[in-house]
Amino acid sequence: MPAFCSGNTVAIEKELGYQFKDKKILNDALTHKSFYHENPDDEGFHNERLEFLGDTILGLVISDLLYRKEPPMPESEMARIKSYLVSGKVLSRIANGKHLGNYLKLGKGEIGTGGRAKDSILADSIEALFGAVYMDGGFYQAKDVIVGLYGLVIEETLQEKKYLDHKTELQELSQQKLGVLPEYRINKEEGLEHEKVFTVSVSVKGEVLGTGTGRSKKKAETDAAKEALKNITSKDQNIT
Global pTM value: 0.72
Q: Which residues of 81-106 are buried (b: 16+ CB within 10 A; e: fewer)?
A: bbebbbeeebbbebbeebebbebbbb
Phi-psi region of 200 (alpha: psi -120 to 50; beta: other; left: phi over 0): beta
- Of all residues in the chain, the percent with pLDDT exceeding 70 is 94
In this structure, are 170 and 65 located in the same domain?
no
Q: What angle do CA 90, 129, 139 make, to 5 degrees?
A: 100
Region 51-70 average pLDDT: 97
Where does the pLDDT of residue 7 fall: very low under 50, low under 70, confident under 90, or very high at 90 and above? very low
Q: Is 75 inside a domain boundary? A: yes
Where does the pLDDT of residue 115 fall: very low under 50, low under 70, confident under 90, or very high at 90 and above? very high
Where does the pLDDT of residue 8 fall: very low under 50, low under 70, confident under 90, or very high at 90 and above? low
User: Where in the sequence numbering do the catalytic residues fall?
Assistant: 55, 127
Q: Is 1 inside a domain boundary? A: no
**Residue 162, phi then psi, degrees to nearest 5:** -65, -15
Number of domains in the chain: 2
> 41: burial class by Cβ within 10 Å (0-12, 13-18, 19+)?
exposed
In this structure, are 108 and 43 located in the same domain?
yes
Summarize pLDDT for 205-240 with one digit per residue, the tens: 999 999 999 999 999 999 999 899 888 877 665 544
pLDDT for position 236: 61
In this structure, are 145 and 186 located in the same domain?
no
The Cα 55–Cα 183 span in angstroms is 37
**Sequential DSSP letters for 154-220:** HHHHHHHTTT--HHHHHHHHHHHHHSS--EEEEEEEES-GGG-EEEEEEEETTEEEEEEEESSHHHH
In this structure, are 154 and 178 located in the same domain?
no
Q: What is the CATH number of the domain that holds 85?
A: 1.10.1520.10
Region 29-37 average pLDDT: 95
Q: What angle do CA 100, 102, 104 make, to 5 degrees?
A: 75
Domain of residue 68, residue span: 10-160
Where is the domain boundary, 101, 132, 160? 160
